[in-house]
Structure 1
């Protein structure tokens, strides 16, 4: 671990942001032979993201396994994220089939645990140089492409040159801004607040999500016996929350179906949140530059997909550009492959999320699928695969699944199920 880069240092890759996406990308690129400078603007190696769902959907598990983090996560108390979801048709409760494998999972774990863990893992990886207290202040340009960064450090301004610069610096990415990467915004008609509780029992001891159309809430058990409880109401409720945040938050929770007993639990944090969290997406590549995690695409926090997509996008980038980043291939062609993979895997998910962020009720197709999932075990498993982002919208809404959902609901109306 290093605190001060030297002016004129040259690397294969410079990554701005040593959180989930940046640390994962540093590890995976270094394993492929790249010399990586991993820049983190904060000087504290234990720094972490505060406002987060603290959930990694099951699509993150293969990345965590490749990184070698599963044993450390389980030793740190990360909770496998089984869950159930409330709808107006009843609870969707995915369970493994009688003869099938267990449901895929990843983990709920507080970022105060997760971020230092993955950052330390990156710092210990041969080929990665973790540079704390380094904030990108500009990009170096040569022949129309990004060729490195300028950064402020505790020791002054430095220039770090690299074949590839990676923006892993969040939804307000300075790297994307300096590169003038266009951004597309989607308004989010919900706002969100969360708090941490101890001794908050949940039905079945697993995560709960409430689809109240259009309001939302969730309660996720995390490490060290802490539960994250969040509410995401329509913005029409915002004046009441602004007038009395604590009273409105607690009243919202108490009114939930099968509400967790919040009044008998111990709240161990302030109520924190944001009143404006738009979704946005950027083109994930430019000459000499790639964006991963929230820098490339910021999803709606109500779905809890940000951590999983951060890890997946790091993996897609490393798989596409690893050899070229280390000087053994065509970098531009490799970046184009990463961009295609990113768009193919996430564009459909983001389209649906942006549409639902308008705070509308379920549309007819959603009503069909959610109601069937509340009534049928196989449809609940199908819903789980989609919610875990292990299948995309086209597979979720494939003709066979829609036909089965229709049959389930028909049997229900006829009184046979």
Structure 2
């Protein structure tokens, strides 16, 4: 049996970023016997990401379950994220089939609750050293590969050596930059602003999204009676928002179909956002380096998928490299494992990102989207199929498979015939 190579390494894996992706990866790796240094540039263990959709799509539920976080989320008041979506054909309202299982769900929970929760779980996990106030300032390079990090701390500079460095440090990843990983950016022709409101009732108490072609908006109920309300207009509206942010935000929301009663609710945060949020894609590996979460792929915030993908990519990385990260099999084994992770990452997310980048051009629905969205507004089975895609439980190929498209076509033909037969004669 090949023995682990341990000499010269402080840890098996060092992870930069102790938010969702980094903390999840640390927990999962340590449970498999990997020694992990989890670095967080903030010194406050309660630090959290502010600009976020605060939603965990259903694709992340299996990872939350494996992490053991589901009971804690429920106890914290996380809201199961059932949703309805407005379109020009009416509302799409996915519901479970009669006598069928409930629809898969994830959770809406604010990052102020979620981030400290998962970070504390990581800190409590044997085999994980949570190092707060540690900011990566460079990588250690040997023989053409990364073998550790240089970090800045309150006590000064230090080096931490490891077989693998994981970048879980967001869309502006320092690890990716220092490793020379190319970044492919896609322009986002929308901008976005959001705020948190208390006592903002929504029909059914569930999430809402408005597809206004090309403008977008969503309202996600969260724990403690707080709703995250976001608007994502086409950039042609940007001058008005820059002139009067609050007035433009409120006017946009009031004009939504079945608009939430924003004027009677209590706004408990500032209106925050960004006018430039491009989509980023990077190859998720380099020699001695892996990227997870937004460091590898940052999608359009209108879809609310970032938190779920952070957890999924942490899980995919763990499954691929846990054995190799302990040193068994040497560098060749680790390199093969990293290649396996890169393939899994591409299969899972490349198609979704392609569609998101295309829709980020701020255009009306294309013919395929019109087919599926209109049918989903008219047919319960198509609505359930769309729910699986919106939850990222199925990819674009399964979403647009021939059977699904044939059913959508039949639904629309039947609808048009019924509408024609009910129209009064001239």
TM-score by length of 2: 0.95
Given the alignment of the two structures, is residue 37 of structure 1 paired with residue 37 of structure 2, yes or no? yes
- How many angstroms does 1:328 deviate by? 2.2
Alignment of 1:87-98 (within 5 A): 87-98=87-98
Partner residue in 2 for 1:388: 391
CA distance in 1, matches of 2:317, 2:100: 33
Tell me if the contact between 1:221 and 1:227 (Cα under 8 Å) persists in the aligned partners.
yes
Partner residue in 2 for 1:79: 79
Tell me if the contact between 1:9 and 1:159 (Cα under 8 Å) persists in the aligned partners.
no
Partner residue in 1 for 2:412: 409
CA distance in 2, matches of 1:376, 1:9: 58
- How many angstroms does 1:9 deviate by? 6.7
Partner residue in 2 for 1:233: 233
Tell me if the contact between 2:9 and 2:163 (Cα under 8 Å) persists in the aligned partners.
no
- How many angstroms does 1:323 deviate by? 0.5
CA distance in 1, matches of 2:398, 2:192: 30
Partner residue in 2 for 1:204: 204
- How many angstroms does 1:75 deviate by? 0.5
Partner residue in 2 for 1:3: none
Partner residue in 2 for 1:5: none
CA RMSD of aligned residues (A): 0.9
Alignment of 1:7-406 (within 5 A): 10-329=10-329, 330-406=333-409
- Gaps spanning 5+ residues in structure 1: where? 1-7
Partner residue in 1 for 2:3: none
CA distance in 2, matches of 1:336, 1:253: 46
Deviations 1:301-347 (A, max 9, x none): 00000000000000000000001001123100000000000001100
Tell me if the contact between 2:197 and 2:265 (Cα under 8 Å) persists in the aligned partners.
yes
Partner residue in 2 for 1:4: none
CA distance in 2, matches of 1:411, 1:170: 47
3-state secondary structure, aligned to 1:414: helix
Tell me if the contact between 1:192 and 1:275 (Cα under 8 Å) persists in the aligned partners.
yes
CA distance in 2, matches of 1:361, 1:25: 38
CA distance in 2, matches of 1:365, 1:387: 15
Equivalent residues, number: 410
3-state secondary structure, aligned to 1:375: coil
- Gaps spanning 5+ residues in structure 2: where? 1-7
CA distance in 1, matches of 2:124, 2:388: 34
3-state secondary structure, aligned to 2:162: strand
3-state secondary structure, aligned to 1:237: helix
- How many angstroms does 1:16 deviate by? 0.1
Q: Which moved more, 1:68-77 or 1:8-17?
A: 8-17
- How many angstroms does 1:154 deviate by? 0.9
CA distance in 2, matches of 1:383, 1:270: 33
Deviations 1:1-39 (A, max 9, x none): xxxxxxx87100000000000000000111111100000
Tell me if the contact between 1:46 and 1:116 (Cα under 8 Å) persists in the aligned partners.
yes
3-state secondary structure, aligned to 2:389: helix
TM-score by length of 1: 0.98
CA distance in 1, matches of 2:193, 2:395: 28
Tell me if the contact between 2:108 and 2:223 (Cα under 8 Å) persists in the aligned partners.
yes
3-state secondary structure, aligned to 2:10: strand
- How many angstroms does 1:404 deviate by? 0.1
Tell me if the contact between 2:173 and 2:295 (Cα under 8 Å) persists in the aligned partners.
yes
- How many angstroms does 1:99 deviate by? 1.9
CA distance in 2, matches of 1:337, 1:139: 23
Tell me if the contact between 2:278 and 2:300 (Cα under 8 Å) persists in the aligned partners.
yes
Tell me if the contact between 2:80 and 2:107 (Cα under 8 Å) persists in the aligned partners.
yes
Deviations 1:268-319 (A, max 9, x none): 0100000000001000001110000000000000000000000000000000
Deviations 1:51-98 (A, max 9, x none): 000000000000000000000111111000000000000000000000
CA distance in 2, matches of 1:29, 1:139: 21
